[in-house]
Amino acid sequence: MCGIAGRFLHAAGIPDEGMLRRLGAAMRYRGPDDEGIYCAPHVGLVHRRLVIRDLTPAGRCPMSGADGRIRVMLNGEIYNWRELREELATAGYRFKTATDTEVIVCGYQAWGDEVVARLRGMFAIAIWDDGGQRLLLARDRLGEKPLYYRADEAGLDFASTVEALSLMRSDLAVDPAAVACYLSHSFIPATHTIWRDVRVLPPAHTLVIVPGGSPQRRRYWDFPRSLPHPGRARQLVPAVENVIEDSVTRCLDADVPVGVFLSGGVDSSLVAAMAARHRPRLPAFSLGFREQEFNELPFARTVAAHAGLDHHVVEVGVGDLLECLPHLVAQYGQPFGDASAVPSFLLARLARREVTVCLSGDGGDEAFGGYWRLQAGVYADRYGRMVPRPLRARLVPWLAPLLGPLGRRWLAMNELSLAPPGAAYSNSESWHGRLDAIAGPALRPGLVHDRVACRTAGGVRREGANLVQQILFEDFQVQLPDAYLTKVDVASMAASLEVRAPFLDQKVIETAWLLPDAMKLRWGQRKWLLKRIAARWVPAEVIYRPKMGFALPLVHWWRAELGELLDSLLRDSIAGSSGWIEVPVVRDVLERHRRGEDHHTRLWLVLWLELWFRHVASGDAAPVSPHIRQPVGGA
């Protein structure tokens, strides 16, 4: 895991090396072990290295081939690098290192741009071809590794982080549409970023630019264009289990210590148990809260004992949040409203004391149907087919409120069946339905932006897909890369830890995509097949329990220390004085939360936005409150 950045110029000038070193310094947490720089006519490249393979200086990037024509930088890991290396060696290529980066160097010489489609793994890649005078950028299939860029008449800049890319420009302007999306969805969907002219390279895409040309994007992979294959659990369980275990085994391949995250949920428990079969006494890391209703540690301890893991645990409170928050705001580089970024960072910091790589359970819900959106969407569709629209539009809204709690559930289903596509993604806990109230004059131009379309990949319909596949496709296109994977990547890199997700391997994703619908959603039970597999590895009481998620006890903390912090910030709010939010509206919401209403998500979104304006947009690195001190943020 590393950080990459560079500048491409249409003219034959050489980019400033001092600027490249400043970019490298901005990404030092992503790669604390080494730095490499390459400058030549048209291009400048900088790479920050977190040493994972071939611990010698030979693994430094940008890495060149034997003739010096190719320069390659890799952020991420290639899981099939050994097979590709053997194939290339058979074809006559010789290797000087034991790295996956050198496989890309030789693979590009052998196959050109098609090398990208041959890679299994998580990656953001930059390849400078001096002979062809072309820069190739590529991002992995599902967006595990980030890559941002900005193109103009002078050329193109790119980087692994928004923060690094913003250092290259002094003329960046905040995008009102991005702020509106952030307050509505808790994250900024691609290809938007907080800066008007900075974009995100989409997952499964390459971008090529040559002197005098415009950037050319191309998709190199897509989900299988097939309906689910028929099959019975008796055959499917062992087949899927084998694919997952193969991916887990590949993710354990490293020249440094490896561990696992263990939340006590289905996905991480299965990954941990499979990994422990291949690495006895594997280190496992869990995080809990002192507020017991948010604490999953008892389940994690059960799994750790069952699988024979070397279990490491930390319990955190609001003081830990206040300590690390400025560091995280700076590392994300743009407003990011998923509060679980905080425990993700604290868990990564715990793990980094023992290991350099951790396996996670990310992607299991998307691949195997674990989210309530799938269940709600499928059942609302079935309900809409059975009940005529006039009855749903006129009779049910009058009748359902008379039936108590059951009626409220009926009314919610009825409303969803009448709503346009994408309505299920609007967050009732965010500012989505209240944006008019909180929006200041600077934000108002963003209110006309189609925020729902951003959240649902612009309403792109998946040709040949059934309803289940379409709902999961929308999650894969937006929620997974722009929210969940961004959260994990930045939070772990802020602690200089590499995180690998076996469920996001290409073979696992393609296998899960073609499973029958009943293997994902069966009589109200989500992730049915994966739970069947997991129950073969870990105790059933861990698998068949209500899903908790990785939530912070914000509902409590806002009535104490967090509320005091926001109060102090609102006295001289930068977001308010610059016209982005209406401070009196936020104060009113904070007071209503203190009186017993629940507005913890809305308050968190405002807090992070305010800190972003102070720590990033204004360039002020000073602590914003005596409650907060600057963390070191490393291992």
Q: Judge whether 135 and 155 are in contact, CB under 8 Å.
A: no
pLDDT band at 629 (very low <50, low <70, confident <90, very high): very low
Counting residues of the chain whose pLDDT is more than 90, the rounded percentage is 75
Q: Does the pLDDT of residue 242 top 80, yes or no?
A: yes
pLDDT of residue 548: 63
Q: What is the dihedral of CA 478, 483, 486, 488, to 10 degrees?
A: -130
| H or E, element range at 205 | strand 205-209
SS3 per residue for 573-588: CHHHHCCCECHHHHHH
pLDDT in tens, 531-571: 999 999 999 888 987 766 667 888 889 998 999 999 999 99
pLDDT in tens, 560-616: 899 999 999 999 999 999 999 999 999 999 999 999 999 999 999 999 999 999 989
Torsion sign over Cα 287, 291, 294, 295: positive
Mean pLDDT of 447-461: 80
Per DSSP (E only), the strands in 280-371 are: 283-289, 310-316, 357-359
pLDDT band at 375 (very low <50, low <70, confident <90, very high): confident
439 DSSP assignment:
B
pLDDT of residue 452: 83
Nearest to 34 by CA among 68, 12, 70, 58: 58
Residue 293 burial class via C-beta count within 10 angstroms: exposed 0-12, middle 13-18, buried 19 and up: exposed
Alpha helices in 32-129 (DSSP H): 81-90, 100-111, 115-118
pLDDT of residue 212: 95
pLDDT in tens, 209-241: 999 999 999 999 999 988 898 888 888 999 999
Q: Does the pLDDT of residue 66 top 90, yes or no?
A: no
Nearest to 479 by CA among 203, 198, 251: 203
Q: Does the pLDDT of residue 420 top 80, yes or no?
A: no
Q: What is the three-class DSSP state of 122?
A: strand
475 DSSP assignment:
I
Nearest to 527 by CA among 299, 382, 303, 367: 367
pLDDT in tens, 17-62: 999 999 999 999 999 999 999 999 999 999 999 999 999 999 999 9
Q: Which residues pair with 289 in a beta bridge?
A: 316
Q: Does the pLDDT of residue 120 top 80, yes or no?
A: yes
Q: Which residues pair with 261 in a beta bridge?
A: 285
pLDDT of residue 259: 98
Predicted model pTM: 0.93
Count other Cβ atoms within 10 Å, centred on residue 386: 8
* Chain mean pLDDT for the chain: 91
pLDDT of residue 460: 67
Q: Judge whether 107 and 88 are in contact, CB under 8 Å.
A: yes
Query: Strands of 216-219's sheet, edge to edge?
Result: 63-64, 70-78, 121-129, 134-139, 205-209, 216-219
For 43, the token pair is: 């291009």
Q: Does the pLDDT of residue 113 top 50, yes or no?
A: yes
pLDDT in tens, 281-291: 999 999 998 77
pLDDT of residue 232: 83
590 DSSP assignment:
H
Nearest to 157 by CA among 269, 8, 358: 8
How far apart CA 419 and CA 238 sit, in angstroms, is 40
| H or E, element range at 550 | none
Alpha helices in 51-99 (DSSP H): 81-90
pLDDT band at 421 (very low <50, low <70, confident <90, very high): low
pLDDT of residue 67: 85
Q: Does the pLDDT of residue 72 top 50, yes or no?
A: yes
Counting residues of the chain whose pLDDT is more than 70, the rounded percentage is 94
pLDDT in tens, 317-374: 899 999 999 999 999 999 999 999 999 999 999 999 999 999 999 999 999 999 888 8
pLDDT band at 413 (very low <50, low <70, confident <90, very high): confident
pLDDT band at 525 (very low <50, low <70, confident <90, very high): confident
603 DSSP assignment:
H
Count other Cβ atoms within 10 Å, centred on residue 227: 14
pLDDT band at 619 (very low <50, low <70, confident <90, very high): low
For the chain, domains (ranges, CATH) are: 2-219 (3.60.20.10), 233-307+335-368+473-542 (3.40.50.620), 372-456 (no CATH)
How far apart CA 258 and CA 360 sit, in angstroms, is 11
Strands 357-359 and 258-261: parallel
